[in-house]
């Protein structure tokens, strides 16, 4: 029997995996329904699914302070302010929002701190047969808008071009050190994240993206491949217009494949065999409102569309399951996935 790592590599390289690679994360605390009998069934089904990969990020020391109303607030290592009211964290303040002149008083975090990788290091070491994916999360665009504010970042390249380019390159340099760190901790891939799409289209003109951002991503992807690792990237929304560019600069695996934002048949037809797709099970619609039959049909369709290239598909949800997702629908999803393994 081949290892999970070998199976996933076969899927990504279109060389015939022995079974469907699967990566499903569940958090019962997040879900509204609390039926313990169904939860135990879900745990049993999860235990029966063959695991091929583990995803771990580097951890930086945040110190949340909980307000009386239960809202947690903190600043991360970039001095970005966060808030979590129990329904997910969100950014509430930006250290460079006042203007680029504030850079003179701003301190960039030290990249490559070994303490940040300790948790991933231990978990990778304890799972030698799995494919290990290390993250460089909030990679570039997200890091830029977290520092400057979202509206500012969309306008900066046109109003403060030189300052924008300098900040962009500083963040790329930070990411390069993070990339260089991952191989020593046992990573087989580096997983980037930048939410470039709305539900309808890219957040900026694709031609501008190619000038302003593509060279930076190429530099990051090249460094990953120089280390002998695969490139994963999380890109929410409809990013169809730049997929040829991302494939051109070395993207191996695309996540999350939102079926309500992108045409999965078009993705399979135009990019199948060149790109491995990871995700696709609709958490916005099907998993919340769908019948058992609709869930089974959707998963079967995704496996057929993306997996028909002698590999090319990692079965997963498009995002984290929504809190209102019925446990029965999760049970149906897991039972259907098992049928393909």
| pLDDT per residue as tens digits for the range 240-250 | 999 999 999 99
Q: What is the pTM of this model?
A: 0.95
| E-only strand ranges, the chain | 53-56, 65-66, 72-75, 81-84, 89-93, 131-136, 189-193, 230-234, 253-255, 276-281, 313-317
Give the residue range(s) of CATH 3.20.20.210 domains in the chain.
4-60+114-339
pLDDT of 226 higher than 90: yes
58: confidence class by pLDDT, cuts 50, 70, 90: confident
Q: How far apart are the C-alpha atoms of 252 and 183, rounded to whole Å?
A: 17
pLDDT of 60 higher than 90: no
pLDDT, average across residues 23-51: 95
The number of C-alpha atoms within 13 Å of 118 and in the hemisphere containing its C-beta is 6
- At 138, list the tokens: 């909030």
pLDDT of 61 higher than 80: no
Q: Please tell us whether the domain made up of 4-60+114-339 is placed in CATH 3.40.50.300.
A: no
DSSP-derived letter for residue 308 is B
């Amino acid at each position: 029997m081949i290892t999970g790592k070998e199976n996933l590599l076969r899927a990504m390289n279109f060389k015939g995996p022995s079974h469907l690679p699967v990566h499903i994360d569940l958090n019962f605390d997040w879900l509204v329904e609390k039926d313990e009998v169904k939860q135990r069934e879900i745990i049993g089904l999860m235990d029966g699914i063959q695991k091929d990969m583990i995803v771990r990020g580097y951890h930086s020391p945040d110190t949340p302070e909980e307000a009386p109303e239960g809202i947690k607030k903190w600043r991360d290592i970039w001095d970005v302010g966060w808030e979590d009211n129990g329904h997910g964290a969100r950014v509430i303040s930006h250290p460079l929002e006042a203007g680029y002149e504030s850079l003179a008083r701003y301190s960039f975090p030290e990249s490559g701190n070994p303490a940040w990788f300790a948790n991933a290091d231990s978990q990778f070491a304890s799972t030698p047969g799995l494919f290990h994916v290390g993250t460089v999360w909030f990679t570039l665009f997200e890091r830029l808008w977290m520092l400057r504010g979202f509206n500012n970042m969309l306008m900066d390249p046109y109003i403060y071009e030189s300052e924008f380019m300098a900040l962009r390159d500083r963040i790329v340099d930070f990411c390069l050190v993070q990339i260089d760190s991952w191989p020593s901790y046992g990573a087989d891939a580096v997983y980037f994240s930048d939410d470039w799409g709305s539900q309808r289209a890219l957040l900026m003109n694709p031609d501008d993206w190619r000038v302003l951002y593509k060279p930076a991503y190429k530099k990051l992807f090249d460094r990953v491949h120089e280390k002998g690792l695969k490139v994963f990237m999380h890109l929410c929304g409809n990013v169809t217009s730049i997929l040829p560019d991302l494939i051109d600069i070395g993207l191996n695996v695309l996540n999350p494949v939102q079926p309500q934002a992108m045409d999965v048949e078009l993705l399979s037809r135009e990019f199948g065999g060149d790109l491995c797709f990871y995700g696709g099970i609709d958490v916005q619609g099907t998993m919340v409102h769908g019948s058992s039959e609709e869930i089974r049909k959707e998963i079967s369709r995704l496996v057929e569309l993306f997996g028909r290239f002698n590999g090319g598909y990692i079965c997963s949800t498009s995002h984290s399951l929504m809190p209102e997702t019925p446990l029965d629908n999760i049970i149906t999803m897991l039972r259907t996935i098992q049928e393909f393994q």
